[in-house]
A and B are shown apart, each in its own frame.
Chain A
Amino acid sequence: MSDLNLQPNIPGADDFYASLLAAHEGLTKAESDALNARLVLVLANHVGDRAILDDAIAVAKTAG
């Protein structure tokens, strides 16, 4: 495993979650899908570490 942080790491978790929902407010399904896709790309670029990204993809895949 890489340094992928799977421990709580977002201060004010409820606020963050509310912002995420707010961003999708009033959007159609297609607009929301597009927003999510852009968000994933922005965050992935910020992480910028291939090992962490691979692990994150793996975690996301197994949780569903």
Chain B
Amino acid sequence: MNKIFEVPMYAYTRSKDQDSEMPVRRPVVIIGAGPIGLGAAIDLAQQDVPVVVLDDNDKVSFGSRAVCYAKRPLEILDRLGCGQPMVDKGVEWNVGKVFFDERKIYEFDLLPEDGHERPAFINLQQYYFEEYLVNRVHELQAEGKQIEIRGKNKVSAVGAHDDHATIEIDTPEGPYNLEADWLIACDGAGSPTRQMMGLDFVGRVFEDNFLIADVIMEADFPTERWFWFDPPFNKGQSALLHKQPDNVWRIDLQLGWDIDKEEEKKPENVIPRLKAMLGEDVDFELEWVSIYTFQCRRMEKFRHGRVVFAGDSAHQVSPFGARGANSGLQDTDNLGWKLKLVMDGKAPEALLDSYDYERVHGADENIMNSSRSTDFITPKSDMSRILRDAVLDLAETHDFARPLVNAGRLSVPCTYDGSPLNTADALNGPERTRPGSPCPDVKLGDDYLLRKLGDQFTLLTIDADAPDMIEEDGIKVTRLALSAKDDTSGALKARYLGDEPSAVYLIRPDQHVAARRASFDENLFRAAIRRATGKE
């Protein structure tokens, strides 16, 4: 049987645009049909923005690559109409074990908080994720939305202009050109767009290599994340074992710096390493093997006029913490509604500068976290190894040292503190819902808060009065009226009120808080809406 990543999902077909004498102008062109390009395309198409996605390939991700998806991206995927298949297929996990040498030194439980529709994490092969996104594209096409993926369309040149971009494309039937009012570059870590535009991509390369192997085996390891520091089967290095659906297991083995990558990738070298780890008599089959050098870096700016970068093209992190695809989806979540408002003339172009501010902030947080994990996992000096080992030795018997063990701080969405779109906090409410924060979910009867918030501006009132709708300079804001009594678990109160008796929240289409106060005040909320749309 062919693997899903071996079958063309969006085979090349000739487009009318290739027969046009003058380059056709498109409202939005996206380069790259990876998870981020597809996510951006679906988001825009759902808002009736016509999109064309160009990809030099015609298949989903080769090999599993990203396997760990966090709650926030799943919530975003719900909004994009493909959260459910992810969760149905994915493997849910909560327990992690940390080993040092031959000993299990500690075990953690993510202890997911109650009242969230989506789990803290699922594991799923990236090729399935991309398959569900492509299925969703087809669904939207069937609904008559203008969204297309053009396989075997390789972008060979990009020109940036004040009010559009030009794109030169190679296809199996020869080249053609397109113009785009807006160009979104989701062409991955090696981004040809970034290179063609001569833009920087600075940061840190970690002098270490990791063997990433996905093996298929019938094994009775539990559905847990197992992480080894300095295990007997990989002395002086680290290792990771994590379960994916279909009996596929992700194994990461740190190899060190001075290695011959091509040699190490050969099955005759990989298999003995895996046997040493899994045991001589475990039957397994290799699905995919790759060797990675980890990098943490980002572009200085993600927006360059009409060309906007999202996902790995804009920022790259080491995989410890699962922040790559997860944070890329947060980019598109941030960009989609802003671009729509700008294209409709309902917000100034300057609104897009807040995409830059907010997602650079997010990338910096991710880079900081994943650099710290990498520094802990692969100590770069004698003393950093001595301190790391001291933490691990102490963690075995003393609780206090466990928070210092850093085998990857798992992806959480960032709060846009200091964003130009935020209105100063005017509620003495919980920290976690201060302006800039992503809204935490709450179970409301048979429904969930995030589903009710949807993807439009919302005025969330909790035991407070407000008009059912306000419109400020073209931006419609509808009220969602709740009472702390709607939720007997107390989560709504704990997450949105704290000690306050009432609250009014202005919530953005990406479900981040823009402003909050104890009660409604028309002038203040109108100002907050203007601010949240780049008008003040």
Contact = CB atoms under 8 A, between A and B. Distances in A.
A42 B387 CA distance: 12
A38 B397 CA distance: 12
A2 interface: no
Interface string A11-42: 00000000000000000000001100110111
Contacts of B400: 42, 45
Nearest to A37: B390
Contacts of B387: 37, 40-41
Chain B contact patch, size range: 10 to 19
B393 A34 contact: yes
Interface in B340-395: 383, 386-387, 389-391, 393-394
A9 B400 CA distance: 25
A28 B19 CA distance: 78
Contacts of B383: 33, 37
Secondary structure of the B contact surface, majority rule:
helix
A14 to B, nearest CB: 27
B401 interface: yes
A38 B396 CA distance: 12
Nearest to A48: B400
Chain A contact patch, size range: under 10
Nearest to B382: A33
Contact of A34 (B386, B398, B404): B386
Nearest to A45: B400
Contacts of B393: 34, 38
A17 B394 CA distance: 23
B396 to A, nearest CB: 11
Nearest to B393: A38
B386 A42 contact: no
Contacts of A37: 383, 386-387, 389-390
A42 to B, nearest CB: 7
Nearest to A38: B390
Nearest to A33: B386
A45 B391 CA distance: 11
A41 B391 contact: yes
Contacts of A33: 383, 386
B391 A34 contact: no
Q: Lowest 7 A-B CB distances belong to which pairs?
A: A37-B390, A45-B400, A38-B390, A37-B386, A33-B386, A37-B387, A41-B390
Interface of B: 383, 386-387, 389-391, 393-394, 398, 400-401, 404
Given A33-B383, A38-B390, 9 more contacts: A33-B386, A34-B393, A37-B383, A37-B386, A37-B387, A38-B394, A41-B391, A41-B404, A42-B400
27 contacts: A33-B383, A33-B386, A34-B386, A34-B389, A34-B390, A34-B393, A37-B383, A37-B386, A37-B387, A37-B389, A37-B390, A38-B390, A38-B393, A38-B394, A40-B387, A40-B390, A41-B387, A41-B390, A41-B391, A41-B394, A41-B401, A41-B404, A42-B394, A42-B398, A42-B400, A45-B400, A45-B401
